[in-house]
Structure 1
């Protein structure tokens, strides 16, 4: 039998349930969203379908209007139908996957599953999103057939953005059901699958909440402040900027407290059970409803002065009063800033001598020991724990990767000296001469397996290509500080950027030309992509403004023009290469990064794609072929059978995209905006991106790839400029745009429309590229553009002048 998810159902329209429904709909799955009939209906309302669906409609509306967005694009909501558990329960009979996301109450869940059992079709899969109730208890008394199709699928919130999906097999779940849902979750929904056991709070929250609560306990003991803890357990230790306490504010103190208490109650044999007892001041905050972001006050809060100035405050753990705070200052953090790599930063912090370093060491050491002791209780290998923390808590490294980074042997010696009990499994590993949990050999990554006391290869999907593993296996063909060319097999190579934020600089421009020459002589195609950073990451945050600003400051405008000409020529080289070039963008793909993608034959993009030509924000315009190639992307969609298409209709969205610096909030939106075309693909799982881009190259080769022919471009001419100028005049009169915005926008319109030519004129591509360069150089000569650039470099925010 071939399983398919043609229709799914989500029962429970709260934050988590509506988030799961949004993800399913965004993946193209028709989804039924159900919730209870409100208890407080009047007799008149009981016969009103609108009133009976009030609960689910509120959840649906919150999902549609959520910020950040839960849907990839608003029209995905059309795939979601709503109903209630009384009038629409029979509709579950049509569903291939039913996801339960109701209140964490065993009796309620048991009653619901008993209702589902007789109505579900024989092949339908039923899963629970519970985080604290054992599956065995929920399915007690149900038929063997139901149990064979029942499992736990624990998503993390917000569902669209958190990669982790914990899968918990029931005792009788069929292997084929587990295989199918894990493949669907990974490939179709883009999730990272972690196999968990049916233990309290599974993997991510068991490890994560223990780490947070233990940090709170040690903070109180050692007399640190909340901002000091967050500074230590932020980026310096590979953690997100939200660190410990800001993360808890986002999740909710009540939620964190519930998970901690639930775990404490259910793990009487846990050697660190007391590390789930939250400190008294946190309990008092929960009683006072200081629950975090949803209450607008938690560990942190923001006050507004009468002058609308934001004042950030933190709670005093002794008085429970909010106070202003400064930036924490520890010598170990200052030293970590100077370190180049994350492992070096970590070592600088945990092996320092100051108060902050000692706190960081103690807290981290206890969490590492705790993670090691949970194998095989909550998972069989270290991989599940590491992935759960990376995908569910946004750690750059999981506990065991962190242990490798700070040095296993050195840390074990220090733990024993400090009286921290090192697990016997770890002692044996070190004693046998195995000093790392992971190692790479012959392009494969191996992990240390406690059960066999030996290294095992990590099994990954065939769709996944790891550039790091290929690099370690000597597959780098050539490299410089900012980019590398890597052999990814079958005659396909990958041009990987690795500058800061993967910004396009002079070195990358030169390297891409060299890479093209090499592939032309030795390969069949090229992928342009990288795998740097966590979610959402940055394919490329744009051009190197520091370099350009330096040239402009010295008045070297001819050098700016020469650099642009080289960049344009090299991207043209990619555009008209004799082999297919496929870009694999994800996350931030801005400015110059976007231009690289527009120059490729095709794109294979990750769903989380924030793509746009944003140069006007710094007083510039796209001059690496961005104006030219976006216009071509639009007009290339016009069939030859429509020779007299109304070009201004196509011109306006191209102009607006550039002049308004529009950035897509998803790959689907990038397609709607015209940046992705019909032949470009969207991939939900970022781990698959390079592999899928390689497949696209090989498909094009197999289809008999022929490079595009360089032809003249039809442009909208002065007619389009007049249309834009009229609209800008109206906007300027209404004070919607500044005088300088108008100056920039008029020149952008001039470039895109082909300059001083008539409507429907055919012009050489080189003409528009020259117009781009001229405008770019002229803008650098303007004081207001220089001011915008300097403000962006200094603050990271645009200046409107």
Structure 2
């Protein structure tokens, strides 16, 4: 049968259920969100539909109020209808997919599934988001047809932002059901799929919570403090800044303890079972309701002084009292900070000889042992375990990738020398002459499969393009220290940035120009896209502000003008190139990164897109064509037949406000609403497929006999716009929405965007507006307050309101 998910139900409106409902709505699915009728209703309230839906309404309100938002755009909420499990249960018969997200109680789940079986339509898929109860127990006594359409779909919280979706087949689940949900989850919901077995806590939480528990237990034995542990297990080891204890505060100590207890109770033969025993001081914290962020106090908390100054505190496990947080360090961390790549940092920390390095190595050994011994118990391959940790915990490397980084043979020799057990499967792998878990050969990624004792190709979707694999296959045709041009097949090339935060510097500007020339001579089209960095990452956080600062402080204004002119030339050259240019932005796409996208023929954006022209925050204005091209994007959205008769004021104000208020979209859907994405631009939910989808767009445009856009003068609002904007600025000043200097900058932005001294409805050549951008940018860097904003941003990473 040809399956489609047009309507889905989510049963349970807590934070997880609300998140799943919001994600489905963002994918365009009609959602029925159900929860129980509250137990404490009076007889009168029991007759009131609003009171009967109080529980689900509270869950929906919490989802709408969440920060960061669970919704791509608040308009998605209109696709969600709420109800309760008494009055609206029969509506489940209309649903193609029913997701259960109720309390972790076997009897409650069994009763619910028994009721669902009586109303579900033939072929409807049912799944549970359980994190610990076996599927076979939940579906016990139900029909074969139910079991054939039943599986586990374990999302991670927060649902919108966590890439991982674990799929757990039941004993009788039909292969076509599994394949369909995997495809829908990957393409429509943007998730990375991990196939897990029906074992306690599946893959991600079994491995992840083991790591947390092992560190907590060993920390006390080795005499480390909470801040010292978090310093070690953060970015230097490729992990989030939340490390161990801040992550547990985020998840909740009670939740973490529940998962630990579940693993301990249900895994009696686990050789590291003791790692799931929660330390006594953590049990006392739970008793005292020090549960983390949800109670505003956990391992860390923030106090306010009488002067309203925030002071960060950390718990002392020995006294259960909070003390001022003093950020610690170790020699291995100081050395790692100076190294350019993550593999070098990891090896530096794990091979150090100070107290912190020795502890990090000890925990790495436990992780290596545990991960290797879980195959084939919880998953069949190293891929599922590594991906679970990367996608569910935001690690940059999973345990097997980290082991490869250290060197498998080298680590094993050290483990033997220090008396650690070596997993039998790894010892056998090495004995057979295989020295790594992953390798790249002839442009293909391989993983070592313990079951067959051989390497197999890492599975990839047909759409996925790996720039790392292409690079390893000698497909780089141009390269400097900041960017590479990579052949990704079929005559399509990808320009990849690789500076810090992919900031645009002089080398990248040169690379854009060189890439366009190369593709013109040798290819069919160009993708501008990157793949480095975890979620959400940065396509480009903007121009290299340190370069701007240096030129401004040295008063090298002619050199700065030349840099801006080169940037504008490169971006406009892409716009009018005789072949299609498609930008593939994701995550932070700010300032110059946004301008690069606005210069492309088309944008294929990841759903998590934080796009905006934010230069006013550093006392400047967009000068890479941004002022002109955002206005042009608005104008070009109009059908040609009505453009002349349209009141441009209705377009100018929102286009101007994007720049003057430094609006940044919180999703690709919002970027479209703000006018940064047009109707021809696409949104892709799965970032893994982004470059591949952009390549497909290039080839489609080529197949459609692509012709470059005709260069023509741009209609501008002229001095009429400036008078109109002055009134808006006056209102914003009075409302304290901007400072006096913001107002000064906003007027300069309006002057440039409207065409300077031009009259209303004048037609200006693009070069005239681009010159206005350059001249005004250079004028602004001469202002003391702009320089103060630039320097403050470089020093603190935060904008200055002066």
* TM-score clears 0.5: yes
Residue 673 (str. 1) matches residue 637 (str. 2): no
Unaligned segments of structure 1, at least 5 residues: none
What RMSD over aligned residues (CA atoms) do the two structures have, in Å? Answer: 0.7
C-alpha distance in 1 between matches for 2:293 and 2:162: 18
Question: Per-residue deviation at 1:432?
Answer: 2.1
Question: Per-residue deviation at 1:733?
Answer: 3.8
Residue 44 (str. 1) matches residue 35 (str. 2): no
Deviations 1:264-288 (A, max 9, x none): 0000111111111011000000111
Per the alignment, residue 610 of structure 2 pairs with 610
Q: Which moved more, 1:392-401 or 1:551-560?
A: 551-560
Deviations 1:718-766 (A, max 9, x none): 1110011122223334443222111111010000001111111111111
Query: Aligned ranges for residues 673-692 of structure 1 at < 5 Å?
Result: 673-692=674-693
Query: Aligned ranges for residues 105-184 of structure 1 at < 5 Å?
Result: 105-184=105-184
Question: Per-residue deviation at 1:428?
Answer: 1.2
Per the alignment, residue 390 of structure 1 pairs with 390
Contact in 2 for aligned 1:656/1:662 (Cα 8 Å): yes
Residue 653 (str. 1) matches residue 679 (str. 2): no
C-alpha distance in 2 between matches for 1:14 and 1:637: 40
C-alpha distance in 2 between matches for 1:116 and 1:328: 54
C-alpha distance in 1 between matches for 2:313 and 2:734: 41
C-alpha distance in 2 between matches for 1:118 and 1:731: 59
Deviations 1:189-219 (A, max 9, x none): 0000000000000000000000000001110
Deviations 1:10-32 (A, max 9, x none): 00000000100000000000000
Q: Which moved more, 1:353-362 or 1:93-102?
A: 353-362
C-alpha distance in 2 between matches for 1:2 and 1:264: 42
C-alpha distance in 1 between matches for 2:445 and 2:640: 51
Per the alignment, residue 370 of structure 2 pairs with 370
Contact in 2 for aligned 1:366/1:420 (Cα 8 Å): no
Per the alignment, residue 593 of structure 2 pairs with 593
Query: Aligned ranges for residues 569-588 of structure 1 at < 5 Å?
Result: 569-588=569-588
Deviations 1:399-456 (A, max 9, x none): 0000001111111111112222110111111222211110000111111111111111
C-alpha distance in 1 between matches for 2:732 and 2:179: 57
C-alpha distance in 2 between matches for 1:505 and 1:731: 34
C-alpha distance in 1 between matches for 2:728 and 2:666: 26
C-alpha distance in 2 between matches for 1:410 and 1:491: 42
Per the alignment, residue 220 of structure 1 pairs with 220
Query: Aligned ranges for residues 9-28 of structure 1 at < 5 Å?
Result: 9-28=9-28
Question: Per-residue deviation at 1:640?
Answer: 2.2
Contact in 2 for aligned 1:607/1:666 (Cα 8 Å): yes
C-alpha distance in 1 between matches for 2:74 and 2:731: 30
3-state SS of paired residue (2:577): coil
Deviations 1:237-260 (A, max 9, x none): 111000000000000000000000
Structure 1 residue ranges (4+ consecutive) displaced by more than 6 angstroms after TM superposition: none
Per the alignment, residue 470 of structure 1 pairs with 470
C-alpha distance in 1 between matches for 2:738 and 2:49: 47
3-state SS of paired residue (2:119): coil
Per the alignment, residue 4 of structure 1 pairs with 4
C-alpha distance in 1 between matches for 2:730 and 2:392: 49
C-alpha distance in 2 between matches for 1:19 and 1:737: 34
3-state SS of paired residue (2:33): strand
C-alpha distance in 1 between matches for 2:88 and 2:298: 39
Contact in 2 for aligned 1:579/1:706 (Cα 8 Å): yes
3-state SS of paired residue (1:526): strand
Residue 100 (str. 1) matches residue 100 (str. 2): yes
Per the alignment, residue 448 of structure 1 pairs with 448
C-alpha distance in 2 between matches for 1:265 and 1:670: 48
Per the alignment, residue 380 of structure 1 pairs with 380
Deviations 1:464-499 (A, max 9, x none): 000000000011111110101111111111011111
C-alpha distance in 2 between matches for 1:732 and 1:90: 55
C-alpha distance in 2 between matches for 1:300 and 1:210: 21
Q: Which moved more, 1:579-588 or 1:319-328?
A: 319-328
Contact in 2 for aligned 1:443/1:470 (Cα 8 Å): yes
Q: Which moved more, 1:424-433 or 1:369-378?
A: 424-433
3-state SS of paired residue (1:714): strand
Query: Aligned ranges for residues 160-309 of structure 1 at < 5 Å?
Result: 160-309=160-309
Q: Which moved more, 1:322-331 or 1:287-296?
A: 322-331
3-state SS of paired residue (1:662): coil
C-alpha distance in 2 between matches for 1:737 and 1:372: 57
C-alpha distance in 1 between matches for 2:775 and 2:539: 27
Query: Aligned ranges for residues 441-590 of structure 1 at < 5 Å?
Result: 441-590=441-590
Per the alignment, residue 634 of structure 1 pairs with 634
3-state SS of paired residue (2:640): coil
Q: Which moved more, 1:330-339 or 1:67-76?
A: 330-339
C-alpha distance in 2 between matches for 1:32 and 1:746: 48
3-state SS of paired residue (2:641): coil
Question: Per-residue deviation at 1:263?
Answer: 0.6
Per the alignment, residue 68 of structure 1 pairs with 68
C-alpha distance in 2 between matches for 1:640 and 1:257: 62
Per the alignment, residue 707 of structure 1 pairs with 708
C-alpha distance in 1 between matches for 2:34 and 2:740: 52
Per the alignment, residue 716 of structure 1 pairs with 717
Deviations 1:774-797 (A, max 9, x none): 100000110110010000000000
C-alpha distance in 1 between matches for 2:755 and 2:638: 18
C-alpha distance in 2 between matches for 1:164 and 1:87: 34
Deviations 1:532-576 (A, max 9, x none): 100000000000011111111111101111111111111111000
Question: Per-residue deviation at 1:638?
Answer: 1.8
Question: Per-residue deviation at 1:65?
Answer: 1.4
C-alpha distance in 1 between matches for 2:518 and 2:467: 19
Q: Which moved more, 1:145-154 or 1:644-653?
A: 644-653
3-state SS of paired residue (1:353): coil
Per the alignment, residue 730 of structure 2 pairs with 729
Q: Which moved more, 1:645-654 or 1:677-686?
A: 645-654
Per the alignment, residue 77 of structure 1 pairs with 77
Q: Which moved more, 1:657-666 or 1:724-733?
A: 724-733
Q: Which moved more, 1:278-287 or 1:337-346?
A: 337-346
Deviations 1:563-614 (A, max 9, x none): 1111111111100000000000000000000000000000000000000000
3-state SS of paired residue (1:641): helix
3-state SS of paired residue (2:376): coil
C-alpha distance in 2 between matches for 1:668 and 1:732: 30
Per the alignment, residue 430 of structure 1 pairs with 430
C-alpha distance in 1 between matches for 2:187 and 2:577: 31
C-alpha distance in 2 between matches for 1:693 and 1:721: 38
C-alpha distance in 2 between matches for 1:342 and 1:406: 11
C-alpha distance in 2 between matches for 1:767 and 1:524: 31
3-state SS of paired residue (1:788): helix
C-alpha distance in 2 between matches for 1:33 and 1:627: 43
Question: Per-residue deviation at 1:500?
Answer: 1.1
Per the alignment, residue 53 of structure 1 pairs with 53
